[in-house]
Amino acid sequence: MSKTIGFVGLGNMGIPMAGRLMDAGHNLVVYDIRKESVAEFAARGATAATSPADVANKVDEVFISLPTPPIVEAVVLGPDGLINGTKAKTIIDLSTTGPRAASRIGDALHSKGKIWLDSPVSGGVGGAKAGTLAVMVSGPKSEYERLTDVLKIIGKLFYIGDKAGLAQTMKLVNNLLSGTAMALTSEAVAMGTKAGIDADVMIDVINSGSGRNTASMDKFPKCILTGKFDYGFATKLMYKDINLFIEEAEAMGLSLRTAAAVRQIWFETLQEIGDEDFTTIAKLAERRAGVTIRGKAAGK
């Protein structure tokens, strides 16, 4: 059965997720500060809203997909935020905000009789387009079960628990491992390249052995060996996620030295390479090793 759903945040991830909801037959009310993104959906039949509150005046459920915790808080709790809408009862957050921000926002919505579901996703733009994202959800289980059919359009569902923020913690755990794989695989392959091993052969061996990981299996073949560096996720967002992980760990009294070292490498990537696609962390390793990591697909 088709529904009318709100969607705020039409960026690299939001566009394909919102598009899948429309492709599945649902009607959308959309908002983004980029008018061109809203216009694209309006041309497909979506209703363009004038603010987050306007979205929440028109629908019962609103999905949000936004880049940083401060933006999420402004969109949900600000003067023109979703909390001030007259109709919306449930906000489903597909962003990565961290558990403390999620708990704070959830409490504010609860005080207004509204429901907050943390639903961060993992799998990149490709997964968003294909509907194969890992969708981690925490919040009232009855609400999760009510929205299961809609959430399944976005990806594979994992119910983490009823406490606000648990899904956010799960996402930070996942992204620390993802960011670590990118950082270490870049350094390892740069070393192997400097030693004289062919990059294509190196990645094939790694992926046939015990060293395989998401970077070697996905990011390197698609974006680094080809020289495209176009995975669709920004360096500053990966740094943000790893920094959030460490902040949460420190709040628990933990001191995680390996995670801190990984955060430092991502910080240095931002400083030396800039805020580009996060696969450009390999360029930092290349620069420091004095090599170029490319495969046959790049015409090396």
Specify the amino acid at residue 112: K
β strands within the chain, DSSP E:
4-8, 27-31, 47-48, 61-64, 90-93, 115-118, 121-122, 133-138, 155-161
* Antiparallel, parallel or unpaired: β 4-8 and 61-64: parallel
Q: Which of 259, 160, 176 is nearest to 213 (CA)?
A: 176
Sign (positive/negative) of CA torsion 59, 60, 61, 66?
positive
Strand partners, 156: 134
Q: What SS3 class is residue 163? A: coil
Query: Active-site residue numbers?
Result: 171
